[in-house]
Structure 1
Amino acid sequence: MAAVLEQFIEGLQQASTLDDVQASVFDLRDIYEVEHVVYHSVNASGGQYAALTYSTDWVDQYLSNGYDRIDPVVVGCYQRFHPVDWRRLDWSGKVSRDFMGEAQNAGVGNQGYTVPIRGPSGQFAMFTVSHNASDTKWTRFTEAHTRDLILAAHYLNQKALEIENGGTAKSTARALSPRERDALTLLALGYSRAQASESLEISEHTLRVYIEGARYKLGAMNTTHAVALALAQGRLVF
């Protein structure tokens, strides 16, 4: 985990209001030097919360035109579990192209990367970074920062849920075994699977069993997600 992200997470953990979460989103935008960062959550009852760096003019335009019904990012990510580079979405239709043109005119950026988040009790959220960049530069950016962006997304979601629930984030995940916790801790510290298995004096196959067990208990979509959830829920001790 990059030192700047660690600093961001430490600051986020001190947040006690949704205004603090909003400020954290601006901090994250500046850390990664992108045009915008957006976190948007919808709970099972339809209640919504957003922390974002878009201009109020674009937000008003988006809401008044009901763009959430045709936005390829919203439509595409709702059907996915894995992070999505906007270039992989379907922008072929005229409505989608016109929408993207308006978004770019509003300063959203021509590139984007969105992390779908599925929380407790039917909650759905999206975390997005967007920027103006060439395909080559954006590919380098996402390859360099994907893991940290996923971690940031889940930390933001965890903190927002915690504040909305009055200070305690709900979790139905089962307890991790000591070995499952050890495996995720080493991965969180940046160990490769080979290094982690060597440190634990087990085979990579056995390590994979522990990781998969932790993923199942945490309800994680992949290993990085499992590490993010375990960190956000305070299950890993360094």
Structure 2
Amino acid sequence: MKRVQTLDGAFNDLMEASGLAQDERAINQALRNFTAAVGFDRFAYLNVRAGDARALSNYPADWQHTYLDNNYAAIDPVVTIAKRTMQPFVWSREENAGNVPETVRFFGEAADFGIRSGVSIPVRGGFGRTALLTLATDRPSADAEVRNSIHAITAVAFVHVHLNRLVRAPHSTMVVLTPRQSLCLSWASMGKTMDEIAELLGISERAVRFYVKGARDRLNATNTTHAVRLAVEQGLI
């Protein structure tokens, strides 16, 4: 019988694979491996801003086109819950469809493509952005539990930051930050203090200050707030 990793136990593998990835295709494969390792069928990484959504997913192509072309991120109950709670959560068609016709129709369409339940892990990005990693299955309910929310959110934030860096790099001659520098600035953009970032990443506050200073130096920023603004403008976080 195939061994299925727990969600919490697989996050380290996901971060390691993402950190080694040299292109978006490698990130996609890392997410595929992570999804299979924890016993799910599908994954979707969604980067949402008002009126815009970008996805990296192994959902059926027809569903991806339908979702993006119709801007379903604006009505997707999973995205709505993610923005409201900003914590990992389990969802299902049966539990979350409700009685609103638009929502019932949405879940019905998703179920036609084998997406009936799952677990989602949101991360708040800077300037109104939300990154969301969803693992989905065609089972009526997802047998999953995220016991270590900080670990889960950190892993998704790591994927988010590293993917943004890889996507932007081929089209730009701008500054390149290390994954740790990008991750520290990303948390800073969410209002986290140095000691809070240290706790989230499991490193010392001194190390966080080192990474933030390195990012400031590379960006030629006068302070951390300035560094965050420059990093956002250049698509580094």
The alignment's TM-score, normalised by the length of structure 1, stands at 0.63
- Unmatched runs of 5 consecutive residues or more in structure 1: 175-214
Q: Which SS does the other structure have where 1:40 is aligned?
A: strand
Looking at structure 2, the residues matched to 131 and 67 of structure 1 have their Cα atoms a distance apart, in angstroms, of 19
Aligned twin of 2:130: 124
Looking at structure 1, the residues matched to 9 and 77 of structure 2 have their Cα atoms a distance apart, in angstroms, of 33
Looking at structure 2, the residues matched to 31 and 154 of structure 1 have their Cα atoms a distance apart, in angstroms, of 20
1:160-179 aligned at under 5 Å gives the runs 160-164=163-167, 166=169, 167-168=176-177, 169=182, 171=185
Code of the residue aligned with 1:35 in structure 2: it is D
Aligned twin of 2:112: 105
Aligned twin of 1:153: 156
Looking at structure 1, the residues matched to 106 and 187 of structure 2 have their Cα atoms a distance apart, in angstroms, of 39
1:46-125 aligned at under 5 Å gives the runs 48-87=53-92, 89=96, 91-108=98-115, 110-125=116-131
Moved more, 126-135 or 84-93: 84-93
The alignment's TM-score, normalised by the length of structure 2, stands at 0.63
Does structure 2 conserve the Cα–Cα contact (< 8 Å) formed by 1:218 and 1:230?
no
Aligned twin of 1:217: 193
Q: Which SS does the other structure have where 1:41 is aligned?
A: strand
Does structure 2 conserve the Cα–Cα contact (< 8 Å) formed by 1:77 and 1:114?
yes
Residue 37 in structure 1 maps to residue 13 in structure 2: no
Looking at structure 1, the residues matched to 187 and 66 of structure 2 have their Cα atoms a distance apart, in angstroms, of 39
**TM-fit CA distance, 1:226:** 6.7
Aligned twin of 2:24: 18
- Unmatched runs of 5 consecutive residues or more in structure 2: 1-6, 170-175, 210-237
Looking at structure 2, the residues matched to 154 and 13 of structure 1 have their Cα atoms a distance apart, in angstroms, of 12
Q: Which SS does the other structure have where 1:79 is aligned?
A: helix
Cα separation, partners in 2 of 1:92 and 1:146, compared to 1, 3 Å = farther
Work out the percentage of aligned pairs sharing the same amino acid.
Answer: 20
Moved more, 51-60 or 155-164: 155-164
Looking at structure 1, the residues matched to 39 and 161 of structure 2 have their Cα atoms a distance apart, in angstroms, of 23
Q: Which SS does the other structure have where 1:115 is aligned?
A: strand
Give the aligned CA root-mean-square deviation in angstroms. 3.5
**TM-fit CA distance, 1:152:** 2.9
Cα separation, partners in 2 of 1:173 and 1:38, compared to 1, 3 Å = closer
Looking at structure 2, the residues matched to 124 and 5 of structure 1 have their Cα atoms a distance apart, in angstroms, of 19
**TM-fit CA distance, 1:98:** 1.6
Cα separation, partners in 2 of 1:151 and 1:40, compared to 1, 3 Å = same
Code of the residue aligned with 1:63 in structure 2: it is L
**TM-fit CA distance, 1:28:** 1.3
Moved more, 95-104 or 70-79: 70-79
